[in-house]
Amino acid sequence: MIKTKAYAAMNATDPLQPYEFVRRSPKPDDVVIEIAYSGICHSDIHTARSEWGPTAYPCVPGHEIVGHVVQVGKKVKRFKVGDPVGVGCFVDSCGKCGECKSHEEQLCEKHTVFTYNSLELDQKTPTYGGYSSHITVKEKYVLKLKKGLKLERVAPLLCAGITTYSPLKRYGVKKGSKVGVVGLGGLGHMAVKIAKAMGAEVTVFSTSPSKQADSKKLGAKNFLLSTDASLFEGVASKFDLIIDTVSVPHDFTPYLGALKKDGTHVLVGAAAEPSKVSAFGLIFGRKKLTGSLIGGIKETQEMLDFCAKKNVLADIELIPASQINEAYERTLKSQVKYRFVIDAKTF
């Protein structure tokens, strides 16, 4: 067994606190990783505070994990001690259903084992995430990282990167595509960077005028203050695709009006309460309103390789573990540019 230091939520209201537990020793197909950095995703906060349904406590959040291999099982072939690796939002699945066989393990028909606040395939053993010093994961669910990259800036790619890359790829974004990004936070800033790297012309929609300068630095060509309804008239029927990263209820109708015929508005932000949408906004122009989760292992590896090739990395603020609770509050106030990442040496 591997003694592991961590930070955990013990209930829905108290601050996260230091916590120790044991990881399993490696099975023949396991990889043991010494975690170097772990990103703080907004979903960590929702889960720690039991806002997305009942959370099982103690809860060790974190699914944007990077580090180095320190031990491998005897059947492991793809990794060796010292390799830089990543772990994303899930760590196992049945491997036999149609979704798993089509490389969509995140949608496993039987049971996707999420990195934290989930149960292993035995439906008994709880999973604990990346706010910790070590993690043991099946080889199949471990991702290769290019050597030489700043791992702290790679960590958010394991959730924010794949969450935005997946729909951008699925809907065929390429040179000349016109893409809108709603919200410029952890997800939004990655959507801008990746869409720009794919060759798209990007427009940021934000409620914050202060985000305009940053949107240009990140690669957006245009900026639109979404609180000014009159500005939507100037972008009517302009966009092929809109990536909506906002996690609070808002009206989708103005964005549908900004789409071209057969255009698509993709939700990647998850609001706890319903949002408004007009049926006419969908009917006229055959607009599509859809959602997207993350990606499977194959697509996540593709995203990591793409980002390494294009030098697309997250903008982060590195913090010690002792500042996790402060980071949560600042994240809720949008006081980070654009992802907090925990230095695992400080657990």
**CATH code at 69?**
3.90.180.10
130 and 201 together in one domain: no
Are 289 and 274 contacting, i.e. CB atoms less than 8 angstroms apart?
no
194 and 69 together in one domain: no
The runs of H, that is alpha helices, within the chain are 42-48, 98-101, 151-154, 160-170, 186-197, 211-218, 253-257, 279-283, 297-310, 324-332
Which residue, 260, 291, 322, sits at the end of a domain?
A: 291
213 and 337 together in one domain: no
For residue range 78-120, list pLDDT tens digits in order: 999 999 999 999 999 999 999 999 999 999 999 999 999 999 9
Residue 272 has pLDDT above 80, yes or no: no
Mean pLDDT of the chain: 95
For residue range 323-347, list pLDDT tens digits in order: 999 999 999 988 999 999 999 999 9
Which amino acid is it at 149? L
140 and 68 together in one domain: yes
* Mean pLDDT for the stretch of residues 222-239: 91
For residue range 58-81, list pLDDT tens digits in order: 999 999 999 999 999 999 999 999
pLDDT over 90, % of the chain: 91
| Domain tally, the chain | 2
The reply to whether 13 falls in a domain is yes
Cα pseudo-dihedral 153, 120, 50, 52, rounded to 10: 80
Q: What is the CATH classification number for the domain harbouring 207?
A: 3.40.50.720
pLDDT grade, residue 52 (50/70/90)?
A: confident
Residue 264 corresponds to which tokens in the numbers above? 């698509």
121 and 207 together in one domain: no
133 and 8 together in one domain: yes
What is the domain range of residue 246?
Answer: 161-291
Terminal alpha carbon distance of the chain: 18
142 and 23 together in one domain: yes
Three-class SS state of 304:
helix
114 and 255 together in one domain: no
155 and 52 together in one domain: yes
Residues 6+ away with beta carbon under 8 Å from 217: none
**Residue 130 main-chain phi, psi, to 5 deg:** -85, -5
